[in-house]
Amino acid sequence: MSKKHKISLSEDELILSLRNREKIAIEALYDMYSASLYGVISRIVIDTAIAEDVLQEAFVKIWHSFSSYSTEKGRLFTWMVNIARNLAIDKIRSKDFKNQNKNQEIENNVTSIDEQRNTAYKPELVGVKDLVQTLKPEQKSIIDLIYFKGYTHVEAADELGIPLGTIKTRLRMGIQQLRKHFN
């Protein structure tokens, strides 16, 4: 599959053209961030079709409420990923979604369990392997629960049976590791 040429702008250029409501801005935004955002969304929302809908809702919301973003509050991606994550969490906590999940057919469970456990082959995750080695498992599980599964640190403490203080410490240590790794 030929990867089409993707538009890439510096963050400052991108923010400027988004403010000016330029068509190229939303295209650049999609090309630069859709995969990262989709990575978060599709770990929270397992169903592909629904995850795609959430991604779409996220972009529509980012585009329409861009005026509420300010560079002083932090990086663009941080703002966007919070929007995407909240939409994904809203979706799986909505009544419709819960009902739908309860009604999952037994015969379809094989594939959904594969999906849930990420045993389906995902080539883009190959690079993550060496990253796993830089993060201790207990750090990674906390980061992933909060960042990719949308847990609060209180819920993560419950889920893992670890005191709240330890959760915060491990989260901080894990992110320190990531910072070292990416430098």
Partner 1 sequence: MEEIKAYIETGILELYVLGDVTPDEKLQVEAMALKHPAIKAELDAIERSMELYAQENAIEPAENLRSRILGSTLTNLGDDNNFTAAPSHQESDSYDDEDNVTALPVRTGNNFYKYAFAASVALLIASTIALLSVYNRLQDTNGQLLSLQLQNQHFTNRVNLMNRELSVFRDPSFKLLKLQGTAKNPTMAVTLAFSAAKKKVMIDMSNVKLPQNDKDHQYQLWALVGGKPVDLGVFDATKDSTDMKEMKSIALADAFAVTLEPKGGSINPTMDQMMVLGKF
Report d(CA 35, CA 55) in Å as an integer.
10
29 Cβ contact list (under 8 Å, min separation 6): 14, 18, 59, 62, 63
Which is nearer to partner 1, 129 or 161 (by Cβ)? Answer: 129
Q: Does 1 bind partner 1 (CB under 8 A)?
A: yes
CA 7 to chain centre: 21
Phi then psi for residue 142, to 5 deg, are -70, -45
Report d(CA 25, CA 182) in Å as an integer.
27
Q: Does 92 bind partner 1 (CB under 8 A)?
A: no
Q: Does 69 bind partner 1 (CB under 8 A)?
A: no
Residue with tokens 């456990």: 117
Which is nearer to partner 1, 49 or 161 (by Cβ)? Answer: 49
# residues near partner 1 by CB under 8 A: 70
Q: Does 134 bind partner 1 (CB under 8 A)?
A: no
* Contact in structure between 167 and 145 (CB atoms under 8 Å): no
Q: Does 19 bind partner 1 (CB under 8 A)?
A: no
Which positions touch partner 1 (CB under 8 A)? 1, 21, 23, 26-27, 30-31, 34-40, 42-43, 47-50, 52-53, 55-57, 59-61, 63-64, 67, 72-75, 77-78, 81-82, 85-86, 105, 107-108, 111-112, 115, 120, 122-125, 127-128, 131, 143, 146-148, 152-153, 168-169, 171-172, 175, 178-179, 181-182
